Amino acid sequence: MKRLEALEAIKPVLDENIVVTIMGAVAAELQSLGHRPNWFYLQHAMGLASSLGLGIALSRPELRVIVLDGDGSVLMNLGGLTTLARYRPSNLLHIVFDNGSLLSVGGFPTATTTGTDIAAMADGAGVPRTAGVDSPDGLRDAVAAALESDTLTTIVAKVEAHYEPPRGTAGFVTNLTLLENRFQFARHLERLRN
């Protein structure tokens, strides 16, 4: 499946929850579905989206946080899987789009093309629930089951190494500036507290 199809399949869930994404194609494609103030795009600091999501989830147990991660990013912060698993916040859902590629920097293959299994690594790290999916319907069902379980879950969604800049996007740069997103998101989380 294409990642954009995967995002569209779970859009209602992303609309309702706090979402933290990685940089590059995931951020640009999610924005192309219509930016919302509950979405934060970590456009650099590769690997730290899951840690940032953990920080929100531990700080605000009343919120549900969905991290949209990638294979290249997870491989940069494998230790972070063990920290996620150690604290296993029930309000965190970790979705990894695995396209087997460092797509935004030349499309070189990642280790998931040579046998590395991120779902198995999450399982080995101690994440209490893991799943692997390869279709939009499969992802939708796995997300529903994860939210229903109220248990930290890592879902690895296999997607094509494909990216077309959405309309209004130059390369991976959208018209939403990083700081605008950051302050809007923090303000949104503040409002949700009141």
Q: Give me the residues that bind other proteins (CB under 8 A), please.
A: 20, 40, 42-60, 63, 77, 79-80, 82-83, 86-87, 178-179, 182, 185-186, 189-190, 193
Pairing of strands 101-102, 108-109: antiparallel
For 37, half-sphere exposure in the C-beta direction (CA atoms, 13 angstrom radius) is 10
State in angstroms the smallest separation of the CB of 182 from other proteins: 5
User: CB 61: neighbour CB atoms within 10 A?
Assistant: 10
Nearer to other proteins, 48 or 66 (CB): 48
Nearer to other proteins, 82 or 90 (CB): 82
State in angstroms the smallest separation of the CB of 119 from other proteins: 19
Nearer to other proteins, 12 or 55 (CB): 55
State in angstroms the smallest separation of the CB of 50 from other proteins: 7
State in angstroms the smallest separation of the CB of 44 from other proteins: 4
Residue 21 pairs in a beta bridge with 41, 68
State in angstroms the smallest separation of the CB of 61 from other proteins: 10
In the chain, which ranges are continuous DSSP H helix? 3-9, 11-16, 25-32, 49-59, 71-76, 78-87, 118-125, 136-149, 178-193
Nearer to other proteins, 148 or 190 (CB): 190
Tokens of 71: 């294979």
Nearer to other proteins, 58 or 105 (CB): 58
> If you ran DSSP here, which 8-state letter would residue 44 be given?
S
CB 9 within 8 A of CB 139: yes
